[in-house]
């Protein structure tokens, strides 16, 4: 009696297939880990760039204080918080360019805490001493102020004195006899009846 052999995989073939599968999975996991690290690095760089831009914008508005309507001398900034980022502070100091007096080199030191450690980063930028953009925009919207008239310093004109002369005499009331009212010459009806004799017609 002949026995037919069954078709299938040997132990060696299964081990080789599992080795290939593990090698492919390891490569794929490595790519995923690398992609996650790149994404995290890009996110941190974006956050750092946003924080630096926020610090520069704050410096543009406050680094040159306004004095008598013009931009004054820069003032040093120490441990100022960056809006929107918790635990991030910066310090800044300006150095004037001797060739261009209105141009300053600003050195900014940023520091923050990460995993219990204090980290710091320094960068530099250039700022021009001028009125902040927000103030310039407000002045442009408000328009030029009208020139005020100088106060009059001369003597005031003398006021005319009130008239103190005698008042005009009033006309005296009429005290003479009133004119007599003219009496009517026509006899009244009662007197005619009195003069008429009884029993006859009037003559």
- The per-residue pLDDT for 19 is 92
Task: For residue 84, give the nearest of 108, 58, 107, 103 by alpha carbon.
Answer: 58
Q: Which stretches of the chain drop beneath a pLDDT of 70?
A: 1-7, 144-203
- The per-residue pLDDT for 1 is 53
Task: For residue 90, give the nearest of 115, 114, 107 by alpha carbon.
Answer: 107
- The per-residue pLDDT for 64 is 86
- The per-residue pLDDT for 166 is 57
- The per-residue pLDDT for 22 is 92
As given in the structure block, the two tokens for residue 106 are 């600003």
Q: Residue 173 phi/psi, 5° resolution?
A: -65, 145
- The per-residue pLDDT for 186 is 47
Residue in this structure with the two tokens 């410096």, named with its chain if needed: 59
Sequence ranges of the domains in the chain: 11-142
CA distance 43 to 47: 6
As given in the structure block, the two tokens for residue 92 are 């800044």
- The per-residue pLDDT for 175 is 54
pTM confidence score: 0.50
Helix, strand, or coil (residue 102): coil
Helix, strand, or coil (residue 33): helix
Q: Residue 39 phi/psi, 5° resolution?
A: -65, -40
Beta strands at 77-81 and 70-71: parallel, antiparallel or unpaired: unpaired
Give how far Cα 59 sits from Cα of 66, 82, 136, Å. 13, 11, 16
CA distance 142 to 136: 10
Which ranges of 63-121 would DSSP assign to H, the alpha helix? Answer: none
């Amino acid at each position: 009696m002949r026995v037919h052999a069954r078709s299938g995989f040997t132990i060696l073939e299964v081990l080789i297939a599992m080795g290939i599968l593990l090698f492919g999975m390891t490569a794929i996991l490595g790519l995923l880990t690398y992609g996650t690290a790149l994404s995290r690095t890009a996110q941190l760089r974006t956050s750092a760039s946003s924080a630096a831009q926020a610090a520069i914008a704050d410096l543009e508005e406050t680094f040159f204080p306004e004095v008598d309507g013009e931009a004054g001398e820069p003032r040093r900034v120490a441990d100022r918080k960056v809006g929107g980022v918790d635990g991030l502070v910066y310090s800044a100091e300006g150095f004037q360019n001797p060739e261009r007096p209105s141009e300053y080199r600003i050195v900014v030191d940023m520091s923050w805490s990460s995993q219990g450690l204090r980290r710091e980063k320094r960068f530099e930028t250039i700022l021009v001493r001028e009125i902040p953009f927000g103030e310039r925009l407000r002045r442009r919207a408000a328009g030029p102020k009208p020139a005020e008239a100088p106060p009059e310093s001369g003597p005031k004109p003398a006021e005319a004195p009130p008239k103190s002369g005698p008042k005009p005499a009033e006309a005296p009331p009429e005290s003479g006899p009133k004119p007599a009212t003219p009496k009517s010459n026509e006899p009244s009806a009662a007197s005619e009846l009195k003069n008429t004799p009884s029993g006859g017609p009037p003559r």
